[in-house]
Structure 1
Amino acid sequence: MKDEASSSQATFVRHLGEGERKVLALHCTIAHSRAWAGLAAALKDEATLIAPDMLFHGQSPDWDGEGDVFEAVTRQALDQLTEPLDVIGHSFGGMIALRLAIEYPELVRSAVLIEPVFFAVVKQDAPHLVQDHDREAQPYLTALAAKDNRLAARLFNRMWTLDDGPRWPDLPERTRAAMERGIQLVAPVEDVLFDDRLGLLKAGQLDRATMPVLLLRGSRTQPTIQVINTGLQNRLPSASDRVIDGAGHMLPISHPHETAEQILRFWGAKENARSE
């Protein structure tokens, strides 16, 4: 299958893998669709990943400023659901995947949410951790407010990447420039992530996501993520939570084989349950 530009401001869509199972894969902030290459290889012949570049990322354009940016990136993903698909989302991509599962359950066969950054869950379940997160995030938020996107991207990347990841000076200039561009998406969506502007936590909303859901996280990730995954597991009708030992927030990139193992096990259990 060829990579292509589709609708929604000429969204660029990459296809990875050649498996029969079609999977919508939604990347994290300051990454791009090729970030799924390692996972696609680890899944071998099981799946074909349909991976759009979000606005401000990869080969897709910047947001045009019309309407609401979270609506725009959701529409980018929804445009790929021309039939029911399995969906995988990482970090902010996990938030989009969760919304699709709630609002369009007939189009989502199953959902794998890898460290979704739904901090509104933390506000409800462990508000003291939100304060800790805010203190840690303040440096990059200050840089964003000062419109120093390069510094903001550097600090944001440092916050969400383990010490054994590549240091900013060691990254190619092209990668640093892409991260600087992608960081523009952070501020406009904070009210969705932290304040649940869309009301996804309101009574009955999560009950609509009746498909099997796998929540994945790394053992070395931020404390807030454990609260989010546990909170969503407790709120969703059919969800399980799994941990990949030694991984941090970037586990689908740093630990693609372990991530693939968990996903394949999840898909297999789902198919077995359906056949019983």
Structure 2
Amino acid sequence: MKKYLLILFCFLCVLGSAQEKVKELGLRLENYKYPYPVSFFKVNAQQNIYEMAFMYVEPENSNGKTIMLLHGKNFNGAYWATTIDALTKEGFSVLVPDQIGFGKSSKPEYFQYTFQQLALNTKKLIDSLGIKQLDVLGHSMGGMLATRFTLMYPELTQKLILVNPIGLEDWKLKIPYQSVNDWYQQELKKDYESIKNYEKESYYAGEWNEDYAKWAKLLAGWTLNEDYSLIAWNSALTYDMILTQPVVYEFEEIEVPTLLIIGTRDRTALGKNLVSEEVKATMGLYDQLGKETAQEIPNAKLVEIENVGHLPHIEAFDRFIEPLLEFIK
């Protein structure tokens, strides 16, 4: 009996230790410091005023060029820290917004999320800073937004860079329809372990370390907040946006020079948990999707990074930044 009690005690200690690693985070990450000073831009949208957080980092010796970095769904502007450092050293001004519903930006109780609305919000921010032209880089969901922004505002966009963007395939053709309420219920069940397991499988091919863990802990920190239901609701709304507003059919309309940086080991795809193993095996195959997308986009260049997953700028920074700098210089 004492043996079993000892085992139980050890298990609870390990569990408690794991939970202590995740810090409760504020609704707008008030208690989390970004790598550069954060400003706030007021956006008038959908009969309300929202605050859009952003970092605007200017170099000591400017080359006169600006690049905008757009975050993915499970992230915020903070994960661009090393990219910002490298770009400013080369003379680039760097704009890094948190979209409404993400990071340090407002979390609406009601909002109709569309990529067009997010692109419009972002253009208003750009206009407020007096930026006339810029390069646009988007990662993951940010790649879908970057594509929509470029299609809407080609006169602003000099070059487009897509880093393991999602939306290279139309998932709603493969997965059963999920209502916003369905996505919301899934989000409410999340914790650090579930977030870690998803990212470990889809992003990193079973590998895990503290560099990967700190971004999972950011998401998990929100699950400990008493207002997590509001974050979960916004997340559910953006899942619906991603699945119902594909950009894959419009790649041929892109007019600007485009660079695709693809970690070929990536297997990210929404709704893989909703389909059979047979269908799942056909989703998120970035070693194929990168090539197919490069053929669809006029004037596109493809750089494939072998044995790298969903986050090349985190997992293999040197192999990510070299082709990026070569393309935008």
Q: Report the TM-score, using the length of structure 2 for normalisation.
A: 0.65
Q: Judging changes above 3 Å, is the alpha-carbon distance between structure 1 residues 229 and 72 closer, same or farther for their aligned structure 2 residues?
A: same
SS at match of 1:79: helix
Contact 1:13 1:52 in 2 (8 A): yes
Counterpart residue type for residue 143 of structure 2: G
Aligned counterpart in structure 1 of residue 199 of structure 2, from 157, 165, 174: 157
In structure 2, what is the Cα distance between the partners aligned to 1:246 and 1:260? 16
Aligned residue in 2 for 1:137: none
Percent identical among aligned pairs is 18
Q: Distance in 2 between matches of 1:15 and 1:236?
A: 29
- Partners of 1:13 and 1:251 in 2: CA distance: 22
Q: What's 2:76 paired with?
A: 32
1:28 is displaced (CA, Å) by: 1.2
Shift in CA distance, 247/155, structure 1 to aligned 2, threshold 3 Å: same
Alpha-carbon contact 1:149-1:183 (below 8 Å) kept = no
Structure 1 gap ranges (5+): 135-140, 269-276
Q: Offset of 1:80 from its aligned partner?
A: 3.3
Between the aligned partners of 2:299 and 2:232, the Cα distance in structure 1 is 33
Question: 2:17 corresponds to which residue?
Answer: none
User: What residue in structure 1 maps to residue 158 of structure 2?
Assistant: 109
Matches within 5 A, 1:134-153: 144-145=185-186, 147-150=188-191, 153=195
Query: Which moves more between the two structures, 109-118 or 8-17?
Result: 8-17
Counterpart check, 1:253 vs 2:289: no
Question: Residues 33 and 226 from structure 1, CA distance in 2 versus in 1: closer, same or farther, beyond 3 angstroms?
Answer: same
Gaps of 5+ in 2: 1-35, 44-49, 177-181, 268-283
Q: CA RMSD in A?
A: 3.3
Q: How much does 1:241 deviate?
A: 1.2
- The Cα of 1:142 is off from its aligned counterpart by 7.6
The 1:177/1:112 distance shift into structure 2, 3 A limit, reads same
- Counterparts of 1:50-89 in structure 2, within 5 Å, are 50-82=95-127, 83-89=132-138
Cα distance between partner residues in 2 of 1:146 and 1:213? 34
> In the alignment, is the contact (CA less than 8 A) between 1:214 and 1:240 conserved in 2?
yes
Do the aligned partners of residues 65 and 86 (structure 1) sit closer, same or farther apart at CA in structure 2, a change above 3 Å counting?
same
Shift of 1:236: 1.4
Instruction: State the distance in 1 between where 2:304 and 2:91 align.
Output: 22
Deviation, 1:74, is 2.9
* Partners of 1:111 and 1:206 in 2: CA distance: 12
Deviations 1:145-168 (A, max 9, x none): 372243664444334331333379
Shift of 1:120: 3.3
Residue 7 in structure 1 maps to residue 46 in structure 2: no
Q: State how 1:1-276 maps to structure 2 within 5 Å.
A: 3-8=38-43, 9-16=50-57, 18=59, 19-20=62-63, 21-43=65-87, 44-82=89-127, 83-121=132-170, 144-145=185-186, 147-150=188-191, 153-162=195-204, 163-166=206-209, 171=214, 176-178=220-222, 184-195=233-244, 197=245, 200-202=247-249, 205-222=250-267, 223-268=284-329
1:257 Cα offset (Å): 2.3
3-state SS in 1 of match to 2:102: coil
1:54-95, Cα deviation, whole Å (9 max, x unpaired): 233221121341333544433332223322210010000111
* Alignment partner, residue 270 of structure 2: none
| Cα separation, 2, equivalents of 1:207 and 1:24 | 22
Secondary structure of residue in 2 paired with 1:206: helix
User: Which deviates more, 68-77 or 11-20?
Assistant: 68-77
Q: Conserved in 1, the CA contact under 8 Å of 2:68 and 2:136? A: yes
Q: Does the residue aligned with 2:160 lie in a helix, a strand or coil? A: strand
TM-score (norm: length of structure 1): 0.76
Q: Relative to 1, partners in 2 of residues 1:53 and 1:91: Cα closer, same or farther, differing over 3 Å?
A: same
Which one has a bigger Cα radius of gyration? 2
Aligned to 1:11, the other structure's residue is in SS state: strand
Partners of 2:212 and 2:306 lie apart in 1 by 28
Write out per-residue CA displacement over residues 99-153 of structure 1, whole angstroms, 9 at most, x where no aligned residue.
1111211111101000111153577xxx7xx57xx9xxxxxx8884372243664
- Conservation of the 8 A alpha-carbon contact between 1:29 and 1:183: no
Distance 1:11 1:224 in 2: 33
Counterpart code for 2:42: S
How many residues are paired up? 251
- After TM superposition, give the deviation of residue 11 of structure 1 in Å: 0.4
